[in-house]
């Protein structure tokens, strides 16, 4: 299977339970078990290619509307506690935070620079707008478009100053975590990155 690696604290276990890759994954009791790590969207399973399915979410002719600037402010005010640890001699990253939710987004942004290529797609940086104002703390956010998707085709022509409206998933921006982590637990703002589904 191939897909977009995504960590997001959307389905944490109840109470004070800890999820760790150091433990064997239990058998699933339902189709949506407690999880924080997933491949989403899924791009390939064996010879089946789902790249063309990464697009705007619709129910027939009706377009799905995700969360907006007000919910983004809530997300950007959240904190994580991160720490590099050892479990049975193996290095791990500990991430502690509260349930985040807010999976799907419909936002507007001002492009900061031309998109740049990454290994499996294209990255774009932008400021998120509410009306004509920048959403507080939503400066220089990152979004990625998966190679071969509608979103990647559309962002190729963008330049600094362009205004875009986009639909996306959200995930933790792992490079930000890895740049700051050390053996002492520290609290940081929740770093976010969007995975583009479509834009206009």
pLDDT at 193 (0 to 100) = 98
Q: How far is CA 31 from CA 4, 59, 84, in A?
A: 19, 21, 31
Instruction: Give backbone dihedrals phi and psi of 177, rounded to 5 degrees, phi first.
Output: -65, -50
Element (H, E) at 180: helix 174-180
pLDDT at 26 (0 to 100) = 80
Q: How many CA atoms lie within 13 A of 39 on its CB side?
A: 8
Q: Which two tokens stand for residue 66?
A: 């995700």
pLDDT at 181 (0 to 100) = 97
pLDDT at 194 (0 to 100) = 98
177/93 Cα distance (integer angstroms): 9
Q: Which two tokens stand for residue 84?
A: 């590099």
22/110 Cα distance (integer angstroms): 41
pLDDT at 12 (0 to 100) = 84
Question: Would you give per-residue pLDDT tens digits along the chain (200 residues)?
Answer: 999 999 999 888 888 888 887 888 788 888 888 888 999 999 999 999 999 999 999 888 888 899 999 999 999 999 999 999 999 899 999 999 999 989 999 999 999 999 999 999 999 999 999 999 999 999 999 999 999 999 999 999 999 999 999 999 999 999 999 999 999 999 999 999 999 999 98
Q: How many CA atoms lie within 13 A of 58 on its CB side?
A: 9
pLDDT at 128 (0 to 100) = 98
pLDDT at 33 (0 to 100) = 85
Could you tell me if 3 and 39 are in contact, meaning their C-beta atoms sit under 8 angstroms apart?
yes
pTM over 0.85: yes
Could you tell me if 169 and 105 are in contact, meaning their C-beta atoms sit under 8 angstroms apart?
yes
């Amino acid at each position: 299977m191939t897909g977009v690696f995504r960590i997001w604290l959307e389905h944490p276990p109840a109470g004070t339970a800890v999820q760790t890759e150091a433990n064997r994954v239990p058998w699933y009791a339902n189709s949506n078990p407690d999880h924080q790590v997933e491949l989403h969207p899924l791009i390939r399973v064996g010879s089946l290619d789902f790249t063309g399915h990464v697009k705007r979410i619709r129910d027939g002719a009706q377009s799905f509307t995700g969360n907006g600037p007000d919910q983004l402010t809530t997300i950007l005010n959240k904190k994580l506690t991160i720490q590099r640890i050892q479990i049975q001699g193996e290095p791990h990253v500990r991430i502690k935070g509260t349930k985040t939710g807010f999976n799907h987004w419909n936002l507007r942004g001002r492009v900061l620079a031309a998109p740049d290529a990454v290994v499996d797609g294209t990255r774009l940086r932008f400021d998120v707008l509410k009306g004509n104002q920048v959403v507080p703390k939503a400066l220089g956010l990152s979004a990625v478009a998966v190679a071969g998707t509608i979103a990647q085709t559309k962002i190729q022509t963008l330049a600094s100053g362009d205004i875009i409206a986009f639909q996306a998933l959200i995930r933790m921006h792992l490079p930000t975590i890895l740049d700051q982590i050390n053996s002492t637990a520290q609290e940081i703002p929740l770093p976010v990155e969007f995975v583009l589904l479509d834009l206009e």
